[in-house]
Chain A
């Protein structure tokens, strides 16, 4: 009687596993997407500046050319005024940059920086890191609406030289005449990628060949109150299209940022169409320590994007002034820390990373390790069940045939 019950059970259990495994793998497949394009990177510092031994006053310009099969991405990073990253996507692999340095340095004329041929420009957008705001969180509610101290305008910071290492550059600056920046600085590190992959350092954002990563960190700056928290204002500038909406997408994979299940995206798309032209993508988490361990993770949230004064942006950022004749600016604030989190004063360090690129943003996928573990883990009992069922069936057959021989007497 036990035998008669056994086979339907192992059959039912095996089919249940097949269903489970199939659903897991099919949902995993939707996450598993590979980026196969590659780009050749070439880096130039201050392209076209007449004397290579000296550098332009008040800031430098970094040009990284990422050439694909039949298109080019120009990444321009400038420290004239507020640090700005300009992305220009052209549809030819032979587009080039032309800078009129005299006009560029004067910062009151547009058109001093061009990507030629101009008709090949498909999409361009600039990201300006415009302000660092600080507020005194007396009630520990992480609501940044009140008690804002006078903001630090990054457009008037004194920036150091751009330190290059391969396709990445570091920039550090201090607020002039400000005692709080006596021993501290605000730094940005830009990394441009020639192929898809995952960044080495926390938070290990996934990137494509069409994107670059900017890390912003505040190190050693004195807070103006013991309970102060910071906000970073970002402005996105576009010619025709500008980033208009921020999406927060939920992801089940928190492998690289434990307990963070969201990805925030600031997208720009054509009016009326759903095709995404460019993006800013980040994980809503910042680190309060250099070692980026779990204890130092602090969540951050963003405000809704709002249109801002384009003239102010052009005045603050030399690159925006140079490239855009009629910029359209949208800005948002990223605020660090939630209610109850330790304040900036506990470590006096804050780091946040954002991915800026063109085209569609990368979607998080399962690492092969996860898929392999699940396949082995689920597959083994199922195989065992099937094998056991087969073995028992065989034994039953043998027993049946053996019983076919009746005793003679």
Chain B
């Protein structure tokens, strides 16, 4: 019974929320412009735009090192292992912070103050990073990435929280998909814009800074000042709504829940870590690989490197829709892992056009994201969901930090073939985990691999039972 109520309040109904909003607004007794009405679709579209831009700065700056790998390595006389520290330092704070990000936003800072604080971290981190590049001190750049990392991932949590608050119900998936697409498109633009700016006499990092300032910092304040200025009349209502929703991330983090995690969940964690460590560090090091092995020009190499994100921008919503319709998540995950393995093997052992392999990588990357993350919700009860997702993010970041450094070291000592083989081995681990998950799920009669129809039937039975 309590489960059902909780589910209702979390999933909610768009109508219910809007009717409540209208009721409250009516109760306040003030006339409002449609655009200022928090429940009106137009207002929420504007909010959506601002929310997307919230993460613009941090996504833009995440892959700055990759876009400028050759320049950074040469200017500071680094080897690849040291260069990859820039990525490792981004991930280290998030090993711990993923657990506490939601908690901090819920209990300590509140969502608005928390968002401002985290975007300040992103901003300050990027300033330190740029300063380090200007004065040619690598340690300063690493510090900058560390500070940037503290803010970056937590800002993503804040973004998701705003999304849940404003778009509960059927629009939520679309909003998540759009945010993700926006993030990925932005990451590709990073690679292009940085190189255009190199021709200008300004220090190139200053442009990271400018972009960062412009979008994250200004829009944060703009967002809030817009809420304050144009919606003056409904300020009380806005406060009331936000207060009513309590800005919850919808999660309660309890570390003791970790010991209760079922075996399939651990397999899902392994798949998550083993898969993403074969994708992100590869993209970080990919540009030079395409230049050296396939004789691409730097511009072409950047383009093929960013095709993964470009493809996943439209593919994520589409594949999410497909996975929703057909169910059978484990099979989709297996297909995604096999496809990524094939892509890496193509890049390692053949001279085939890398556009093929990278496009395949883009599609399978989107497919895995759509199929894997929802599986956590199927194996874990609602009250442990926060802990499970936090733990998953945490070990994912741990894996990324460690593998980023390992990838740099392997590249320096053994070259790209070994690096690609290392990624293939990681994917083989993921594949073994998927195979085991398939069989464990089948033998235990679990519901991970149900088709969509079967799952809907199951849910209907569950709700009718609850009634």
Contact = CB atoms under 8 A, between A and B. Distances in A.
Contacts of B289: 259
A9 B79 CA distance: 44
Given A13-B338, A20-B345, A2 B442 contact: yes
A370 interface: yes
Contacts of A2: 442, 449-450
A259 B417 CA distance: 9
B417 A254 contact: yes
A255 B80 contact: no
B292 A260 contact: yes
B331 A9 contact: yes
A294 B416 contact: no
A258 B292 CA distance: 10
Interface string A372-383: 011001101100
Given A255-B414, A258-B414, A259-B288, A381 B435 contact: yes
Contacts of A119: none
Nearest to A3: B442
Contacts of A1: 454
A2 B446 CA distance: 11
Contacts of B345: 20, 24
B249 to A, nearest CB: 34
Interface string A239-277: 000000000001011111111110000000000000000
Give the interface residue-count category, chain A: 35 or more
A24 B349 contact: yes
B415 A258 contact: yes
A208 to B, nearest CB: 22
Given A13-B338, A385-B435, A377 B424 contact: yes
Interface in B33-54: none
A261 B425 contact: no
Interface string B115-127: 0000000000000
B439 A388 contact: yes
A396 B189 CA distance: 53
B351 A13 contact: no
B349 A258 contact: no
B336 interface: no
B354 to A, nearest CB: 13
B421 A373 contact: yes
Nearest to B414: A255
A381 B80 CA distance: 31
A381 B293 contact: no
Interface in B278-305: 288-289, 292-293
B421 A20 contact: no
Interface string B307-337: 0000000000000000000000001001000
B164 to A, nearest CB: 33
Contacts of B414: 255, 258
B91 to A, nearest CB: 23
Interface in A1-48: 1-3, 6, 9, 13, 16, 20, 24, 27-28
A1 B74 CA distance: 59
Interface in A305-353: 340, 342
B432 interface: yes
B417 A294 contact: no
B349 A377 contact: no
A20 B342 contact: yes
Contacts of B413: 258
Given A2-B449, A392-B442, A255 B417 contact: yes
17 contacts: A13-B334, A20-B342, A27-B350, A250-B351, A259-B288, A261-B292, A293-B79, A293-B412, A342-B74, A374-B424, A378-B424, A380-B432, A381-B428, A384-B432, A384-B435, A388-B436, A395-B443
- Which 6 pairs from chain A and chain B are nearest by CB? A258-B415, A254-B415, A381-B431, A377-B428, A388-B439, A259-B292
